[in-house]
Amino acid sequence: MRKSLLSLAVLSALAISSVSFAEEAAPAAAPAAAAEPASPWTATANIGFVSDYYFRGLSQSWHKPAVQGGFDISHSSGFYAGVWGSNVSPNTYPDASVEIDLYAGYNGTTPIEGLGWTTGIYTYWYPGGDWDKYNYLGVPNQTPDGGSWNTQELNAGLSYKWLSAKVSYTLSDWFGAEKKTGWSDDTKGSTYIELNAAYPLPWWGLTLIGHVGRMNVSGKLNTAFVSSSGQLPSATTESINPDYTDWKIGLSKSFSIAKSEGWNAGIYWVDSTNNSYWSDKGYGGSSFNGSAETKNLNDGRAVITVGRTF
């Protein structure tokens, strides 16, 4: 998942070839060759490393490092599309160790200077992963009719200079959460609302990064399910509700290495609420891969990123 799957993988940038003509010795200069029109398409690729893959305030890599990369294409009309990938933890996504994000949409501007808009569709794909692989404490087949973790979202947003806001709306169930997998209801229509800032500072080319988001899942855990499966026997209103607020603040810097452009590094503090659900004592912090191991997936901690765009 990527702010931005992940976000997500290398595609060479489109090149516009040019030809240089030497001056002739003749008195009259040869007519200049017509310039080749620039392509309306551009392409970029990216690759990066993160000390911990956090997505919307929650660790997707069980607090371990991740390698990520992807590529994007865009058209002068505003159309864009891309793919991005990252390793994830099979403790959270049984039988899946990779997340692949596929996305497409449009960016545009308005008559108001600095005000832009975006809209698109996003798919989070976990090859090999499925709810029927769910295994809590070594007890398989607890959700034999469960579907995949794969999730599709629509999104729309606005940006003004260094500020942006976006809302994402799930077209599918939220990462496979439905009645068949122990939830009170299907979770289509879950929303994530976020506000982001990338403010250029006047020192050393640094950019101040800020983010706050709110996840609202249109369903809760079924208390009968979590009790019968041995999870959260004393389930409370808080422990069965996955909704939370997350935030991030930090610094990023673009730089070059030995005339190699496109590098970027950052250090951020990420955190989120709802320890009742997402901590090592809640359902969200449990391993779904047959292990008794648990984690505080919403731990507040520093995350370091290093990457390059080609």
pLDDT in tens, 137-166: 778 888 888 889 999 999 999 999 999 999
Confidence (pLDDT) at 2: 53
- Write the DSSP symbol of residue 163: E
Confidence of residue 228 (pLDDT cuts 50, 70, 90): low
pLDDT in tens, 54-70: 999 999 999 999 999 99
Tell me the pairing of strands 58-59 and 206-216.
unpaired
Between 14 and 305, the more confident residue is 305
Q: How confident is the model over 127-132, as a mean pLDDT?
A: 91
Confidence (pLDDT) at 30: 52
Confidence (pLDDT) at 263: 96
pLDDT at 244 exceeding the cut of 60: yes
**Residue 228: helix, strand or coil by DSSP?**
helix
Confidence (pLDDT) at 142: 83
Rounded Cα distance, 89 and 95, in Å: 9
Q: For the whole model, what pTM was predicted?
A: 0.86
pLDDT at 83 exceeding the cut of 90: yes
Confidence (pLDDT) at 226: 66
pLDDT at 299 exceeding the cut of 80: yes
Confidence (pLDDT) at 191: 98
Q: How confident is the model over 270-275, as a mean pLDDT?
A: 95
pLDDT at 15 exceeding the cut of 50: no
Confidence of residue 24 (pLDDT cuts 50, 70, 90): very low
Residue 84: its H or E element? strand 79-87
Confidence (pLDDT) at 281: 87
Confidence of residue 21 (pLDDT cuts 50, 70, 90): very low
| Residue 68: Cβ-neighbour burial (10 angstroms; 0-12, 13-18, 19+) | buried
pLDDT at 7 exceeding the cut of 60: no
Nearest to 63 by CA among 293, 275, 253: 293
With residues binned 3-state (H G I as helix, E B as strand, rest as coil), the percentages for the chain, rounded to 5, are: 5, 45, 50
State the average pLDDT for the chain.
87
Nearest to 291 by CA among 59, 134, 91: 91
Percent of the chain past pLDDT 90, that is, above it, reads 71
pLDDT in tens, 106-120: 999 999 999 999 999
Instruction: Give the position of tokens 């009309």.
Output: 77
Percent of the chain past pLDDT 70, that is, above it, reads 85
Tokens of 154: 């629509």
| Residue 24: Cβ-neighbour burial (10 angstroms; 0-12, 13-18, 19+) | exposed
Confidence (pLDDT) at 229: 56
